[in-house]
Structure 1
Amino acid sequence: MTLLDAWQSALRQRLQGLRLPTPPGGLGLWFTLLSFGFLLAALANHGRQMLQLSLDLQGWLWLVLGLGLSLLSLVVNGLGFAVLLAWLGLRPRWAAIVRMYLDTNLRKFLPGGIWHLTTRLSQLRDPAGPLRGGASWPQALAAVLLDPLLAAAAALALVALDGWQDGLALLGLLPLALLLPRWLRPLLVALERRQARRLAASAEEATPGPSPPLPGGYPWRPLLALLAFVLLRFSGFACCVVAFDLQGSLGWTGWLAGFALAWTAGLLVPGAPGGLGVFEAVLLLRLGSQIPEAPLLAIAIAYRVVVTLADLLAALTARADQRLDRRLDQPLDQQP
């Protein structure tokens, strides 16, 4: 064993043995309350200025375009999940995976923020589900946990496009190093220890066994697929920026870095359904010193409405498509 290996082993043991005190209700609840408190204070301070803002016809058309791009990003997100499943050695039915992803995505807004994950776990394990032959619990759990991890790593890497930013660029690139095979495996094990019992209890399953072996290489394909998803997500946000005619207030790399940081916070902070409140608060904190807060808050709210409508339309479309497939599979004499 080399000195580096010994140091890494000691660090992992120290982190595993570390127990930090948690406040009543958990950190997620307090993050959510603080984010909503900050957002409400911003609305109270700038509400009158926001009421003075208005959109012309061209602005509304930009919002409609943002809705379409946000809807497309969800489809790409589902395809990225299918790429991840294939990278893990599973055999996805691509169209069925996308439908499942779109259908379950709306459940992230339910209290607890895990019901979209538990539904995907159940469907991935179903032999008649969107995977050919289904997956074991450890395989399904690894896929469900790696999906947001890779998306967050892809988004944070975009923060570096806006320059050094007092070291924030380096912090944004560090998650890419954690995806190296020697680090990804212990990271996945740590995530499973933290989430497995909670997800298993919610899905009414037994506690899962050891995690499955991961492919030896770097997860380039799922990472790039999820990077495309994040960029499409940003394009929907960019349409909201243009709708309020603020594209000249900050360079696009600055907008992208601020969006990527806020989107990642909304994805990873526990307790906030769909990142509600967290995304808006982080966006204001990051860009509020460069952009007037009233129009920035209007952009954040407009984007929230756009992506929520996209989530709803995607789920309704997926369910309608599933019903149509079942009807077409029925014999003609049994169809209504």
Structure 2
Amino acid sequence: MTIKLKQILRWVILGATLVFVGKALQDNWLEVTAIRIDEAGWSILAIATGITLLAHTWAGWIWTWILQELKQPVPATKFIQVYLKTNIAKYLPGNVWHHYGRIVAAKNANISAGAATLSVLLEPLLMAAAALIFVVLFGNQFAANNNTFIQQLFKIFSLIIILGAIHPRFLNPVINLLHKLKVKKSDNKSTPNVGIRRYPLRPLLGEMAFLGLRGLGFILTLFAIMPLNFGQVPLLLGAFSFSWLLGFIVPGAPGGLGVFEATAIALLQHRFPSGAIISAIALYRLISIIAEVAGAVLASLDER
């Protein structure tokens, strides 16, 4: 029954997002078809693609940092290749196959099963924490009065909660509990003590840099379509971070497909020309897929 409910929920979410995006596209079709990209714009889109590819490569390097935190030093180049080659699998139904591929590759490199599994659990957790930090820092751009004392106090309090939640004192008990539950379901009676030794500051900063690069790619995509000023960057970065986070955590959206687009349109269509926003979001999804495919191909070629 639970599995059926999950499947129904995924289809409902996917259907709702597709209906919303389709309705927005229908209402603004004339504006979308009127968009023209000049030669400079195509050059900017090429740069956005390169930055997005750099972001995924950087994320693979951060994965090696996480493994180092777990006392599992690994060759960076090899594991970045693994990360890039498995990244495209996140678009498969279930949204777990990229994690599975990384666990298998890590175990084949003589990394313990516990550390391999924990590394692919910590990575999205730190990504989500980085996205929440960006949302807290720039999310008040959507408020009419974004500099009140109450808002600043709430911002500080939220940051303290986010940063405190990934402290080993709170993370490790959860990790050990999940480990015990996993052991009970298997024939292995050993319960290795798997956890992080210290606050994952370097991986967290790395994930913030990753999200910053992804956000820069999105901003450049919009810039290729319409002029922007520097004062609009915090608003765009906040909207991108929130949209990316929802696409990241909502079930039934492999790679955030549909959820990211619907959220970004809802947040930005009343602050920028709707046609430009819809076109930029569609182009950015295409850029993301091209960058991920290019990363997988280049990693395979480099490995050979």
In 2: Cα distance, 1:246 partner to 1:208 partner = 61
In 1: Cα distance, 2:73 partner to 2:36 partner = 49
1:221 is the counterpart of 2:202:
yes
Paired residues for 1:235-314 under 5 Å? 235-248=216-229, 251-314=232-295
How many Å apart are 1:229 and its aligned residue?
1.1
1:81 is the counterpart of 2:57:
no
Letter in structure 2 aligned against 1:159: V
Aligned to 2:117: 141
How many Å apart are 1:289 and its aligned residue?
2.8
Aligned to 1:114: 96
Letter in structure 2 aligned against 1:178: A
Letter in structure 1 aligned against 2:126: L
Aligned to 1:154: 130
Question: Is the 1:88–1:214 Cα contact (8 Å) retained in structure 2?
Answer: yes
Letter in structure 1 aligned against 2:101: T
How many Å apart are 1:273 and its aligned residue?
1.4
Q: Secondary structure at the match of 1:223?
A: helix
1:33 is the counterpart of 2:15:
yes
Q: Secondary structure at the match of 2:71?
A: coil
State the aligned residue count. 291
1:181 is the counterpart of 2:168:
yes
Residues 88-97 or 207-216, more deviating: 207-216
In 2: Cα distance, 1:302 partner to 1:211 partner = 46
Any unmatched runs of 5+ in structure 1?
Answer: 1-19, 324-336
State the Cα RMSD in Å. 2.9
Using CA pairs below 8 Å that are at least 6 residues apart, which structure has the higher relative contact order? 2
How many Å apart are 1:29 and its aligned residue?
3.5
Q: Secondary structure at the match of 1:217?
A: coil
Question: Is the 1:83–1:225 Cα contact (8 Å) retained in structure 2?
Answer: no
Aligned to 1:72: 54
How many Å apart are 1:250 and its aligned residue?
6.1
Q: Secondary structure at the match of 1:251?
A: helix
Aligned to 2:146: none
Any unmatched runs of 5+ in structure 2?
Answer: 144-150
TM-score, normalised via structure 1 length: 0.78
For 1:54-87, what per-residue CA distance to the aligned partner results, in whole angstroms no more than 9, with x for missing partners?
A: 1111111110000111111111010011111101
Percent identity at matched positions?
A: 30
How many Å apart are 1:32 and its aligned residue?
2.5
Letter in structure 2 aligned against 1:147: E
Question: Is the 1:28–1:271 Cα contact (8 Å) retained in structure 2?
Answer: yes
Runs of 4+ in structure 1 deviating by more than 6 angstroms, as ranges, are: 190-194, 205-209
Question: Is the 1:156–1:172 Cα contact (8 Å) retained in structure 2?
Answer: no
Question: Is the 2:52–2:214 Cα contact (8 Å) retained in structure 1?
Answer: yes
Aligned to 1:95: 77
Q: Secondary structure at the match of 1:290?
A: coil
Residues 40-49 or 206-215, more deviating: 206-215
How many Å apart are 1:307 and its aligned residue?
1.0
Q: Secondary structure at the match of 2:7?
A: coil
Letter in structure 1 aligned against 2:66: L
